[in-house]
Amino acid sequence: MEIRELSEQLSLANKELFVQNKEKETLAAALSLANIELDFQNKEKGKRAAELIIANIELDFQNEEKLKRARELMIANKELDFQNSEKEKRAEELILANIELAYQHDEKEKRAAELIKAYAQLSFQNEEREKRAAELILANTELIFQNQEKEKRAAELIIANTELIFQNLEKEKRADELIVANKELQFQNKEKGKRAAELIIANIELNFQDEEKEKRAAELLIALKELDFQDEERGKRAAELIIANREVLVQKQEKERAAAAEAKKDEFFNMVSHEFKTPLTNIKAINQLMEKTADKTDRNYAFILSANHSIKRLERLIEDLLDVTKIKSGQIDLNLAEFDFSDALDNSISNVQLQSPHHEILLVNTVNWTYLGDQFRIEQVLINLLNNAIKYSPDAQQVIVRAKLEAGSITVEVQDFGLGIAKEDIDQLFQRFYRVSKTAMKYQGVGLGLYIASEIITKHRGTFTVTSEPGKGSRFAFSLPLQ
Ligand code: ADP
């Protein structure tokens, strides 16, 4: 039993050993694998170490190169510093040189401007010289022609001289033989001497004539220049005249345009005034009928009276406008007839007084004279002056009328104590549509009354005078000649 148990235990232990051996074998295999791996890794490390040593050697080499390069760079830097300071010096020199160049440039420009001027002057002088040269060429041609003439004459004289010499020789030859004839020849010689003297005199004369011709030529040149100058002046004058002519033409056209516009305006006023007149007459008739039939105690009666007043104003305005167009077209005709001048004064005063109860119109002096004129128009003038005197003296109570019969004329003066008129306005009062600007807005009116009044007085060959003091009042007076 014990053996069996022991063998069993041995077999178990054997098995265990077998297992353990197997494990050891597996472990040994694993170890050898790990060993192989380590060998491989060691080899790799060895390779890497060798590479690192090579890389190190390379780095050492590179470091040395860098040091060398750094040294070279330091040397190059020093060189550059030196070059920079050289360049700065050079730059300063260049700036100085530049300033100098700019100065030289200015000088050159000045010189160029002077040269241009000098060139223009030279061109002008050249032109003058060319003109002069052309003139000289002409004069020269003339002189050459004269010289040729002289040369011809001289040639003729030389021929004549040669002939004379030949004749003299002949004569000398013949002298011995012709003693008798000598006297005659002497006589003939004397004659020839005289002739020579005459020729010399003629020559002198010709010279003198030449000089005269030269003088004449110079005078002609001067005269020519003068003529040129006069031509230029005429040209200038003609240009000026053309411009002046154009200006006159433009002014004329302007005036014609203004006149046409004025005529159109007058035509328009005339047409409008006529168009207004008929309906206004209707309104006036209706209003008058209403005034007659209305109950005077009724509140509306005041409106009818006010409408009446407005109608009258409108009527007056239309009449004024029609008068203006008549004056402009020269159609304002006077209905001349004899009338008592005092009637005209009374009518006008009572007409205005009726409508202006706040003012007292005082007739200081009247004129009892049978006057030949247009009574309606004279009353129109008076009414206008009185209306103005009242209108432009709102704070006054009185208007004074003085009429005087003087040698050869009647004078009427209307004096008020109102606003008065400034000096600078007085001369313009009789212009169409003129109104004193300071007061124009405050008072009704269109600036036609005095214009029409002055035309009526002028038509009667009379005159107007105005004296006035601002703040104190005005005096409007007109004089009418008796014949
Ligand atoms: P209107 O009175 O309709 O303006 P007038 O031709 O009658 O036109 O008068 C022209 C201008 O002259 C008036 O606007 C006014 O400025 C001035 N004038 C006329 N009469 C008087 C006066 N008596 N006092 C002051 N100013 C006057």
466 Cα to the center of ligand 1, angstroms: 12
C-alpha pair distances (Å), 317 with each of 175, 212, 312, 320: 133, 89, 9, 5
For the entire predicted model, the pTM comes to 0.51
| Residue 5 structure tokens | 């148990």
Q: Which of 201-210, 225-234, 377-386 has the lowest mean pLDDT?
A: 201-210
Lookup: tokens for 121: 């002057």
Amino acid 56: pLDDT:
82
Query: Could you tell me which residue, 176 or 413, shows the higher pLDDT?
Result: 413
pLDDT bin (cut points 50, 70, 90) of residue 3 is: confident
For strand 398-406 and strand 337-340, is the pairing parallel, antiparallel, or unpaired? Answer: unpaired
Q: What are the residue ranges of helices labelled H in 358-472? A: 375-391, 423-426, 437-440, 449-459
* Full 3-state SS string of 252-302: HHHHHHHHHHHHHHHHHHHHHHHHHHHHHHHHHHHHHHHHHHCCCCCCCHH
The whole-angstrom separation of Cα 321 and Cα 67 is: 118
CB 266 within 8 A of CB 331: no
In the predicted model, what is the mean pLDDT of residues 316-327?
Answer: 88
Cα-Cα end-to-end distance for the chain: 205
- Res 1 pLDDT > 60: no
76-85, 132-141, 461-470, range with greatest mean pLDDT: 461-470
Does the structure show a pLDDT above 90 at 353?
yes
Q: Which of 206, 269, 477 is nearest to 365 (CA)?
A: 477
**Closest ligand 1 atom, residue 445 Cα:** 3
- 43-96 pLDDT, tens digit each: 888 888 888 888 888 888 888 888 888 888 888 888 888 888 888 888 788 778
Residue 391's contacts (CB-CB under 8 Å, 6 or more residues apart) are 443, 444, 445
pLDDT at 150 > cutoff 90: no
Of residues 8 and 142, more confidence is placed in 8
| Whether residue 447 has pLDDT greater than 90 | yes
Residue type, 437: S
Query: 440 C-alpha to center of ligand 1: Å?
Result: 8
**Residue 157 reports pLDDT greater than 90:** no
How far apart, in whole angstroms, are the C-alpha atoms of residue 314 and residue 480? 30
Closest ligand 1 atom to Cα of 476: 23
Task: Please tell me the predicted confidence (pLDDT) of residue 135.
Answer: 77
Residue of higher predicted confidence among 461 and 113: 461
Q: Which atom of ligand 1 is nearest to the CA of 448?
A: 6
Report the SS3 class of residue 62.
Answer: helix
DSSP assignment, residue 220?
H
Assign 143 a pLDDT band (cuts: 50, 70, 90): low
The protein residue whose alpha carbon is closest to atom 8 in ligand 1 is 447
Pocket of ligand 1 (CB under 6 A): 384, 388-389, 392, 416, 418-419, 421, 429, 434-436, 439-440, 445-451, 474
Mutate to test the pocket of ligand 1, among 313, 319, 323, 435 (most ligand atoms within 8 A of CB): 435
The pLDDT, as a whole number, for residue 372 is 97
Which is more confidently placed, 412 or 137? 412
Nearest CA to ligand 1 atom 2: 445
Q: Mind listing the pLDDT tens digit for each residue in 178-216? A: 677 667 867 887 888 788 788 888 878 888 888 888 898
- The pick from 381, 388, 442 for probing ligand 1's pocket by mutation, whose C-beta has the most ligand atoms within 8 angstroms, reads 388
Q: Mean pLDDT for the chain?
A: 87
Could you read off the pLDDT of 470-483 as tens digits, one per residue? 999 999 999 999 97
Query: Which residue of 450, 456, 467, 469 sits with most ligand 1 atoms within 8 Å of its CB, as the best mutation to test the pocket?
Result: 450
Q: Give the burial class of 348: count Cβ atoms within 10 A of its Cβ; 0-12 exposed, 13-18 middle, 19 or more buried.
A: buried
Cβ contacts of 476 within 8 Å, gap of 6 or more: 385, 388, 389, 413, 414, 464, 465, 466
CB neighbour class for 330 (10 Å; exposed up to 12, middle 13-18, buried from 19) = exposed
Produce one character per residue of 110-145: b if its CB has 16 or more CB atoms within 10 Å, e if not.
Answer: eeeeeeeeeeeeeeeeeeeeeeeeebeeebeeebee
How far, in Å, is the centroid of ligand 1 from the Cα of 471? 15
Percent of the chain with pLDDT over 70: 95
| pLDDT number for residue 463 | 97
Report yes or no: 404 and 366 within 8 Å, Cβ to Cβ: no
CA angle 205, 210, 216 (to 5 degrees): 125
Is the domain defined by 335-481 classed in CATH 3.30.565.10?
A: yes
What percentage of the chain exceeds 90 in pLDDT? 37
More confident residue, 431 or 208: 431
Mean pLDDT, residues 353-361 taken together: 94
- Measured CA to CA, the distance from residue 353 to residue 398 in angstroms comes to 11
Is the pLDDT at 108 greater than 90? The verdict is no
Domain positions in the chain: 335-481
The residue with greater pLDDT, 130 or 416, is 416
Among 259, 468, 153, 339, which residue's Cα sits nearest to residue 450?
A: 468
Mean pLDDT over residues 347-364, rounded? 95
Instruction: Taking residues 465-472, report their average pLDDT.
Output: 97
